[in-house]
Amino acid sequence: MIEKIPAGDLIFLGTGTSHGVPMIGCECAVCSSPDPRNKRTRSSIILGFPEGDLLIDTSPDLRQQFLRERLLYADSILFTHPHVDHLFGLDDTRRFSHLNGMRPIEVFCSEHVEREIHARFEYIFDPAVQNFPAGGIPKLHLNRIEPFREFEVLGQKVLPLRIIHGRIEILGFRIGDLAYCTDVKIVPPETMEHLYGLETLIIGCLRYDPHPTHMGLDEVLELVEKLQPKRVFFTHIGHGFDHEKLSRELPEHIRPAFDGLYLEKCFPTS
Ligand SMILES: [Zn+2]
Ligand SMILES: [Zn+2]
Ligand SMILES: [Zn+2]
C-alpha cells in the first residue's frame, strides 16, 4: 500500500471520457482492444503534496482506481466541476474517513460544486445520519475557491483558472509549472496569461473532431502551439483514439496519458 505519494509526483487515476472506455455496448476497435492503455476509467489525478496527497475529482471509478494503485486515502480533494463523471464517486471517500481516523477531508471547490454536493449528497450533512452508529459517511469540510485566487493546501500553492466547458464555467488548476485543465472547450484570454512557461500541461482531448463542450485534437494542438509547454499529456480521452496510433501521430513531447501513468517530480513543491 502507498501511504504517501512523494511530493511532486502525480498518478493518472483515470484518463477516460464520461462514458469510460470501453463504452457499454460498443464493439469498435478501441473498445475491443487488448491494449491496457485503451482501457480508460473516468478522469482523475492524485498528486503528492508536501503535507499529504491531493485528489482532483472523485470519479465514479474512484474505488477501482484506489484499489488498482494500492492507495489508502487522499488528504484533500479539489474539484474541477460537478458533472457526474467528476463528482459522483464522492461517497466512496467514506473509506478515507475510516482510514484517516475520521479527520475531516478538506474539500476545495467552486460555489457551483458546493451547491451540487449539498444537493446530491444531502445525507452527508444531516446530523441524524452523522450521529447514527452504522454505515458511515465521509467526513468533509468544504472550502470555497474562486478563479485566479491562489490558495494553499497541504503546504502547496494552487491557482484556480477559469475554463469554459460548453455552457458552464469550470476550474482548471496551475500548480507551480504544472497545469491540469480537463473538460475544456475554450480557454479565455485571462486564463491564457497563466498558462505560459509550463513544464507540463495536462489537457482534455476527447476525440479527433470538435465537440460542443470539449476540444477536439486540432483545437488542442492549436492551443499547445500558442502556449509552448515543454510536454503535454491528454486526458478525458474517448474511444475514437487508439493509444498506439495517436502516439505515433503526435510529436514526441505530446502524449496521450493512460490509467496508472506515474510522473515523477512534475511540479516544484512550494
Ligand atoms: Zn468530464
Ligand atoms: Zn467504442
Ligand atoms: Zn464535464
CATH number for the domain including 196?
Answer: 3.60.15.10
For residue 232, being part of any structural domain is answered with yes
Distance from the alpha carbon of residue 204 to the mean position of ligand 1, in angstroms: 9
For residue 39, being part of any structural domain is answered with yes
Give the DSSP letter of residue 202. Answer: E
User: 151-153 and 156-165 as β-strands: parallel, antiparallel, unpaired?
Assistant: antiparallel
Ion ligand 3: residues, CB within 5 A, are 83, 183
Distance from the alpha carbon of residue 85 to the mean position of ligand 3, in angstroms: 7
Q: Where are the beta strands (DSSP E) in 125-215?
A: 140-144, 151-153, 156-165, 168-175, 178-181, 200-204
Distance from the alpha carbon of residue 79 to the mean position of ligand 2, in angstroms: 28
| CB neighbour class for 186 (10 Å; exposed up to 12, middle 13-18, buried from 19) | middle
Run of H or E including 225: helix 217-227
Instruction: Please list, residue by residue across 235-245, b when 16 or more beta carbons sit within 10 angstroms of its beta carbon and e when fewer do.
Output: bbbbbbbbbee
For residue 1, being part of any structural domain is answered with no
Distance from the alpha carbon of residue 165 to the mean position of ligand 3, in angstroms: 7
For residue 32, being part of any structural domain is answered with yes
- Domain containing 206: what range? 10-147+157-261
Distance from the alpha carbon of residue 133 to the mean position of ligand 1, in angstroms: 35
For residue 174, being part of any structural domain is answered with yes
For residue 165, being part of any structural domain is answered with yes
Distance from the alpha carbon of residue 203 to the mean position of ligand 1, in angstroms: 12
Residues 56-76: pLDDT tens digits?
A: 999 999 999 999 999 999 999
Closest ligand to the CA of 82: 3
Place of cell 487508439: 242
- Counting the structural domains of the chain, the total is 1
Average pLDDT over residues 136-165: 97
Average pLDDT over residues 156-174: 98
For residue 50, being part of any structural domain is answered with yes
Distance from the alpha carbon of residue 236 to the mean position of ligand 3, in angstroms: 9
Residues 12-33: pLDDT tens digits?
A: 999 999 999 999 999 999 999 9
C-alpha cell at 193: 496569461
For residue 4, being part of any structural domain is answered with no
Lowest mean pLDDT among 122-126, 132-136, 241-245: 132-136
Distance from the alpha carbon of residue 130 to the mean position of ligand 3, in angstroms: 30
Closest ligand to the CA of 38: 2
Distance from the alpha carbon of residue 184 to the mean position of ligand 3, in angstroms: 8
Average pLDDT over residues 35-62: 98
Distance from the alpha carbon of residue 16 to the mean position of ligand 1, in angstroms: 8
The answer to whether the predicted template modeling score (pTM) of the entire model surpasses 0.85 is yes
Residues 83-97: pLDDT tens digits?
A: 999 999 999 999 999
What is the distance between the alpha carbons of residues 59 and 44, in angstroms, rounded to a whole number?
A: 6
